[in-house]
Structure 1
Amino acid sequence: MDHEKVNILLVDDQPAKLLAYEVILKELGENLVIASSGREALELLLKTDIAVILVDVCMPELDGFELAAMIREHPRFQKTAMIFISAIQVSDIDRLRGYEMGAVDYVPVPVVPEVLRAKIKVFAELYRKTRELERLNQELEDRVRARTAELENSTARLRESEQRRSMAIAAGKMGSWDWDWISGDWMWDEGQYRIFGVGPESFEVNPANVQALLHPDDVDQLRKAIAEFNKGARAYETEFRIIRPDGEVRWCVGTAAATVDDSSRVVRVSGVTVDITERKRAEERQNLLAREVDHRAKNALALAQSIVRLTRADEVKAYVNAVEGRINALARVHTILSLSSWQGAELSRLIDEELAPYSLGGQIILAGPEVQLLPATAQTLALALHELFTNSAKYGALSTRSGRLTIGWQVEDQVLTLSWEESGGPLVMPPKSRGFGTRSLLASVESQLGGQARFDWRAEGLLCRLEVPLTRKMAATTTSGKFDDASSAELQRASG
C-alpha cells in the first residue's frame, strides 16, 4: 500500500557511518536526510518536518546529549522521536541521562541492520499515523466549523429576512387583514392597527367599528366593495380616507381579493392596506408648486414686458443696452430667490450682485446688518439698485476713478432705510427733468412697495434715500414676482 514518505534525519560526524546507515535504512523507502554535525542537524530541523532522528552520542563540539537537549527546548520538536547510537559501552546512568534528554531508544554499535530498521520503522509509522490523525481531526474540525457557520448564516439570513419584512411593512406603512365572509370574523395584523391608529387591546374589529373610522365621504367605498364581491367580483381596489381616534385624517389605498368555494360563493376576503398620506401630500405640494411656478412665470413675463414697453432711448443700441441691463438685474434676483426656494433674499447679496461690475479699487463702501427681504421686495429693490448703479456709472461717482460710493442701511420698526451717497465724481447739476430710470425707481418703490424714495442732487454727488416696509402686511400690495397693471400704469405715467 502506497503511503506518504516521512523524513528521517541521520546525524553523525563520520561519513562512513552515515553511509552505512543509509544502506541499512534504504529498504524502508523513506526520505533520508543527512547531517554531519549537531549544528547542521539543527538547521535542517528548522527547515524540514522530521519524523525520526538517529543521532550519534559522541560528536565533537555538540554531542548527542547536548543536541537532544537543544531540540527538546523547541516547542515544535518536543515530541520528535530520537534514537541514540553509541559505539562505546553505555552505562545505566548514561541511558538514564539520554532518556531525560528525550531519547526513545538506544542502539549499540555494531549495529544490527534488522534491529535498526525495525526500530526506525516503528517510529516512522507512528509519526505517519499521528499526522494522519491530526489531518483527520483538522478536517473534522473544519467540517464542524463550516457546518456551524452554515447554520449560523442560515439563522442570520432568516432573522434578517424577518427583520427586512417587518421593516418593509413598517417603512411602507402597510397592513394586512382577513375577513371571514361567512362568520363575519376579522383578523388584523400589527400594521393594520397602526395605520388606523388603534390597538388590539381596545379596538374590536367588526364592520360597524371599521366603518366608524372611515371618512364620511368614503363610507360608500366599503358598501360598493361588498356589493361587488356579492356580484362575483374576485378583486377590488380603491383609495379612501380614515379618521383616526385622535382626529388625524390619513389617506389609504386598499386592495382586496376574494376566496370562493366550489359553488363560486365568496367565503373569505383578504387584503392589504397601504398608508399613502405622504404621497397625497406630496402630490398636493407638487400641484401647488406648479401653480406657483406658473404664477411667477406670468409675473416675470409681465415685468419683462413692462420693462421692454416703458424703456426709452434715443438710439437702438442704447435701448437694447438699457433693456438688457434691467432684464439681467431681474434674472440675477430670480437666481438668488431660487436658491432660497423663493423664501426671500439677503439685501447684501442683492447689492453684491449689482455692484460686481463696478467694484474697482475700493470705490464702494457698504455698511448695514443682514436683512432678509420678501421675494417681491427683493425683485423691486434689485431693479431700483440697478437703476442707481447704472446712473452712477454713466454720470456719477462710478464714472471716474476718484469717485466714491457709500451704501448704508438699517431697519427700524420693520422699515428698511437705505442711503445712497456719492462723492468725488463729476460736478452734479440738478436735472431739468427726471429720466426714465429715476421715474421708474420712484414708481416701483412707492407703488409696488408702499415706500418712499427721495433724491438730493448735491453738487458733490447724489444722495438718495429709500424707505421700504419689510412685513408682508405692509407689502401686501404685491405678491411674489408680481408686476400688476396698476404698477405698469404708474410707470407709464412716470415715463410721460
Structure 2
Amino acid sequence: MDHEKVNILLVDDQPAKLLAYEVILKDLGENLVIASSGREALEILLKSEIAVILVDVCMPELDGFELAAMIREHPRFQKIAMIFISAIQVSDIDRLRGYEMGAVDYVPVPVVPEVLRAKIKVFAELYRKTRELERLNQELEDRVRARTAELESSTAKLLESEQRRSMAIAAGKMGSWDWDWINGDWMWDEGQYRIFGVAPETFNVTSASVQALLHPDDVDQFRKAIAEFNTGTRAYEAEFRIQRPDGEVRWCVGTAAATLDGNGRVVRVSGVTVDITERKRAEERQNLLAREVDHRAKNALALAQSIVRLTRADDVKTYVNAVEGRINALARVHTILSLSSWQGAEINKLIEEELAPYSLGGQIRLSGPEVQLVPATAQTLALALHELFTNSAKYGALSTRSGRLAIGWEVSGEMLALTWEESGGPLVRQPKARGFGTKSLLASVESQLGGQAQFDWRAEGLLCRLEVPLTRKALPAAEQFDAAIAGELQRASG
C-alpha cells in the first residue's frame, strides 16, 4: 500500500558501511539520509524530520553515546527512535548506558540484513502511525475550534437581538430589566423572572433580593458593576451564575447600559440577561470529548509500542507475525469498544471477533450469558484469548479438522469464570517450559486483572480456566501490559 515516506538517518564515519546500510534498507522504500559524522547528523536533524536514527557506537570526535545524549537534550528530538550498531562486544553496562541515552535497540556486527530491515520497519511504521494520530487530533481540535466559533457567533447574534423585549420573552431564555438608579426601583419582564426561577406574584425585586440569587462566587461581579457605573462606565457585560430557589445553578450572560442626565450622572441602568446554560454544557461536552479522544489515541499507541517492545521471538518472521497478531487483536477489541462509545464490550462479541479469522465452521462451540466487560478488562481479555487461539491453531485442537473447541463462561457474584476446553486434536503433552504466549496470558490475567489462570494439559486436549473480577479498577492498558509482562520477560531471557 502506498504511504508517505519517512526519513531514516544513517550515521557512520566509514563510507563502505554507509553504502552497505543503504543497500540493506533500500527495499523499505523510505528516504535514506546519510551523515558521515555526529556533527553532520545534528545539522541534518535541525533541518529535517527524522523517524529513525541508525548510528555507529564507535566514531571519532563524537561517538554514538555522546551523539545520543546531545540529541535527547533537544526537546524536539526526545522521541526519535535510535538504534545503535556496534562492531565490538557490548557489555551490559554499555547497553544500559545506551538505553539511558535513549537507544531503543542494538544491532551487532556483522549485520543480519533481515533483522536490521525488520527493526527499522517497525519503528518507521510507529513513527508514521504517530504522525497520523497527531493529524487526526489536529483535525479534531480544528473542528472543536470551528464549533466554538459557531457558538460564539451564535451568541453574538443573540446579544444583538436581546434589546428587543418581545423576542426575549418569546425565546424563553432571555429577559430584560430596568433599574432606576436614583430611587432604586427595579422592573423585570416575564423572561427575567423565568430565568431566575421566581414568580412575579411572590418575588419582590430589590438590589438585595437580586444579589441573594447570585452564585456566591459571582457576587463580587455585581458589586464591581455598580462601582464602575458610579465612576462613569456607560456599558458593562459579564458572564455569571444564578442559584435558583430550588437549588439549580444556571449560567447567564448579562449586558447593561447606563442612561445619563445633563450633568453626566447615571440616572437609569437597563440591561438584558441571556440564559447560556445549554451552551456552557455543550462546551463542556466538547472539551471532554477532545480530552477523551486524545487520551484514547495516546493509550492505543502506547499499548502498541509496549507490544512491539516486549514481544520476543526466535526469528524475524515469527517476531513480525506475533506483533501483527497482537496488534490486530487490540484493533478488534478497539472497534467493539468504539461501537459502544467506550462503555464496554460484550464477551460473546469479543470471542466471536477473535475466532472470525479462522473460519472453522462447526469446530467451535460457545455458551454463556450476556456479560458486559469494562474497557480495560475487555482489552486485557482480548489479548489473552488471542494467545489461546494462536496456540490452538498452531499446536492444538484448531490445527486439525477433527479438533473441537468449547468455550463457556458464567458469572458468580462479581467474578467471571471462562472455560477453554479442547478435544479431538493432536496428542497433548505438558510443555517442559512455558512459552512467551502462556507467560503473557498468565501475567495479564493475574497481574492486570487480579484474576487466576489454570492450565490442565490433558492428553485429549488443553483445559484452561480463567477467572477475572468484573468490577476491578485497572491501570491504563499500556501501563498494565508493561507492568505485568516485564517480569516474565526478564525471567524468560535470564
Q: Using structure 2 for the length normalisation, give the TM-score.
A: 0.63
Matches of 2:260 and 2:477, distance apart in 1: 60
Q: Does 1:204 align with 2:201?
A: no
Structure 1 470/263 Cα, relative in aligned 2: closer, same or farther at 3 Å? Answer: same
1:82-135 per-residue CA deviation (whole Å, 9 max, x = no partner) reads xxxxxxxxxxxxxxxxxxxxxxxxxxxxxxxxxxxxxxxxxxxxxxxxxxxxxx
The higher radius of gyration belongs to 1
Letter of the structure 2 residue corresponding to residue 436 of structure 1: F
Q: Which residue of 1 aligns with 2:307?
A: 307
Aligned-residue identity in percent: 81
1:385-423 superposed Cα distances (whole Å, 9 cap, x missing partner): 111111111111111111111111111112111111111
In 1: Cα distance, 2:306 partner to 2:363 partner: 33
C-alpha distance in 2 between matches for 1:421 and 1:484: 26
1:323 Cα offset (Å): 0.5
Which residue is equivalent to 2:232? 232
Contact 2:169–2:191 at 8 Å: present in 1 too? no
Matched, 1:274 2:274: yes
**C-alpha displacement at 1:359, in angstroms?**
3.0
**1:494: how far off?**
5.8
Bigger mean CA offset, 396-405 vs 444-453: 396-405
Pairing of 1:353-392 with structure 2 (within 5 A) = 353-392=353-392
Question: Residue type of the partner of 1:260?
Answer: L
| Partner SS, residue 245 of structure 1 | coil
What amino acid is aligned across from residue 171 of structure 2 in structure 1? I
Shift in Å, 1:491: 4.4
Q: Once the two structures are superposed, what CA deviation does each residue of 1:35-75 show, in whole Å capped at 9, x if it has no partner?
A: xxxxxxxxxxxxxxxxxxxxxxxxxxxxxxxxxxxxxxxxx
SS of 2:298's equivalent in the other structure is helix
In structure 2, give the amino acid aligned to 1:306: S
Runs of 4+ in 1 over 6 A off after TM superposition: none
CA distance in 2, matches of 1:332, 1:318: 21
Q: 1:492 aligns with which of 486, 489, 492?
A: 489
Structure 1: how far apart are the matches of 2:254 and 2:168? 19
**What is the Cα deviation at residue 353 of structure 1?**
0.6
Q: Which residue of 2 aligns with 1:195?
A: 195
Mapped to 2, the partners of 1:479 and 1:327 lie a distance apart of: 16
CA RMSD of aligned residues (A): 2.3
Q: Are the aligned partners of 1:347 and 1:372 in contact in 2 as well (CA < 8 Å)?
A: yes
CA distance in 2, matches of 1:372, 1:481: 22
Shift of 1:348: 0.5
Superposed counterparts of 1:94-493, under 5 Å:
165=167, 169-170=171-172, 173-471=173-471, 475-479=472-476, 483=480, 486-493=483-490
Match of 1:141 in 2: none
Q: How many residue pairs were aligned? A: 330
What TM-score, normalized to structure 1? 0.63
Distance between the aligned counterparts of 2:210 and 2:169, measured in 1? 26
Unaligned runs of 5+ in 1: 1-161
Contact 2:310 2:486 in 1 (8 A): no
Q: Please report how far the alpha carbon of residue 481 of structure 1 lies from its aligned counterpart in structure 2 after TM superposition.
A: 6.8
Q: Pick which of 418-427 and 226-235 moved more.
A: 226-235
1:208 shift after superposition? 0.8
d(CA) in 2 for partners of 1:400 and 1:185?
A: 91
Matched position secondary structure for 2:253: strand
Contact kept, 8 Å, 1:406 with 1:422, in 2: the verdict is yes
Whole-angstrom CA distance in 2 between matches of 1:402 and 1:260? 96
SS at match of 2:358: coil
Change (3 A) 1:386 1:208: same
> 1:34-45 residue pairs with structure 2 within 5 A?
none
Residues 209 and 167 (structure 1), Cα distance of their counterparts in 2 relative to 1, 3 Å cut: closer
Distance 1:302 1:254 in 2: 46
> SS where residue 273 of structure 2 aligns?
strand
Shift of 1:466: 0.4
SS in 1 for 2:388: helix
Question: Is the deviation greater in 371-380 or in 183-192?
Answer: 183-192
- State the distance in 1 between where 2:439 and 2:487 align: 10
Question: For residue 200 of structure 2, what is the amino acid of its counterpart?
Answer: P
Residue identity matched to 2:467: E
TM alignment of 1:51-70, pairs within 5 A: none
Once the two structures are TM-superposed, the CA of residue 224 in structure 1 deviates from its matched residue by: 1.4
Alpha-carbon distance change, 450 to 368 in structure 1, aligned in 2, over 3 angstroms: same
Residues 339 and 247 (structure 1 numbering): CA distance in 2 closer, same or farther, change over 3 Å?
Answer: same
Query: By how many angstroms is 1:480 displaced?
Result: 6.7
Instruction: Please state how far the C-alpha of 1:461 moved relative to its aligned partner.
Output: 1.3
Distance in 1 of aligned mates of 2:291 and 2:311: 30
SS of aligned partner of 1:357: helix
